[in-house]
Amino acid sequence: MENIIVIGGGGHAKVVISILKKLGNYNILGFTEIESSEPILGINNIGNDDFVIEKYSNTSTNNIALGIGQIKTHELRKNLVSKYMNAGFIFPTIISPNATINESVNIGNGTIVMDNVAINTCSNIGSYSIINTSSIIEHDCKIGNFVHIAPGVTLSGEVVIESNTFIGAGSTVANSVSVSENCIIGAGSLVRKNISQSGLYVGNPVKKYK
C-alpha cells in the first residue's frame, strides 16, 4: 500500500479523504492545512506545504492528492501542483469506486472523479481536474486541465470544455458545444451555443455577465 498526502483541509479535502478510504489502496499520512489542526475523518493535519516538501521529498512518500476545490481562481491549484512536482512528487488519478467509467475513456494525472459520476465512451479528461459528485460526461467529450465540473452537471455528447474553466452545479451543456478556457459558468445555467471568449456566464440560456 502506497502512502499519500492530501493538500488542503476544507470540505473538498474531506470528500477526497473519504474516497481514498473507500479505494483502500493508499495509506493516508495526513492533510496539509495552515489554519486548522483538527483531524478530518480520523486523518491528522501534518503541517503546511513547505513542511511536507522538506520532510517527504526524496522519500518513498511521493503521492499527493489535490484536496482544494472551488476557489476564486485556478491559479492556487496550478501553483501548488507546480511546487510539489518540482520537488519530485506525483499526483495519481483518483477515481471513486462508485463512479462509472465506460470504454475508451482517458483520464489525466491528478484528476479526481467523485461518487456517482458517469463518464461515457471515448471521452478524454485532462489533468488536475475535478469531476464532482453525480455529474454526467457523455460520449466523446473533451475536458482540459484544471477544469472543475461541479456536482450535478450534465455535459451532452461531443462537448469540449477547455482548460481552467469552471462549470457550476446543476448546469447543462448541450450537444457538440465548446466552452473556451478561463470561463466560469454559473450554477444552474444552460449552455446551448459555443462560448469563444473567457469570462463569467450565467442564465438559461447563458449570457456573459458584465
The answer, yes or no, to whether the previous bond of 205 is cis (omega within 30 of 0) is yes
CATH no. for residue 20?
A: 3.40.50.20
Q: Residue 50 corresponds to which amino acid? A: D
Q: What pLDDT was estimated at residue 113?
A: 98
User: In angstroms, rounded to a whole number, what is the distance separating the alpha carbons of residues 95 and 63?
Assistant: 15
Kindly state whether residues 112 and 23 are assigned to the same domain: no
Supply 33's cell numbers: 492545512
Query: Residue 114 domain-assigned?
Result: yes
Supply 74's cell numbers: 485556478
Q: Residue 149 corresponds to which amino acid? A: I
Kindly state whether residues 32 and 63 are assigned to the same domain: yes
Domain of residue 152 covers 94-194
* 206-208: strand order across its sheet: 94-95, 112-113, 130-131, 148-149, 166-167, 183-185, 199-203, 206-208
Per-residue model confidence as pLDDT tens for the chain (210 residues) = 899 999 998 899 999 999 999 999 999 999 997 666 789 899 999 988 998 999 988 888 899 999 998 766 778 899 999 999 999 999 999 999 999 999 999 999 999 999 999 999 999 999 999 999 999 999 999 999 999 999 999 999 999 999 999 999 999 999 999 999 999 999 999 999 999 999 999 999 999 987
**8 Å CB contact between 126 and 147:** yes
CATH no. for residue 140?
A: 2.160.10.10
Task: Decide which of 58, 86, 114 is a domain's last residue.
Answer: 86
What is the count of structural domains for the chain?
2
Query: Residue 210 domain-assigned?
Result: no
**8 Å CB contact between 204 and 186:** no
User: In angstroms, rounded to a whole number, what is the distance separating the alpha carbons of residues 128 and 144?
Assistant: 9
Q: What pLDDT was estimated at residue 36?
A: 65
Q: What pLDDT was estimated at residue 122?
A: 98
Task: Decide which of 41, 63, 86 is a domain's last residue.
Answer: 86
Kindly state whether residues 35 and 102 are assigned to the same domain: no
Q: DSSP label at 73?
A: -
Kindly state whether residues 168 and 147 are assigned to the same domain: yes
Query: Residue 185 domain-assigned?
Result: yes
Query: Residue 39 domain-assigned?
Result: yes
Kindly state whether residues 178 and 126 are assigned to the same domain: yes
Query: Residue 127 domain-assigned?
Result: yes
Query: Residue 8 domain-assigned?
Result: yes
Nearest Cα neighbor of 206 from 196, 77, 195, 197 is: 195
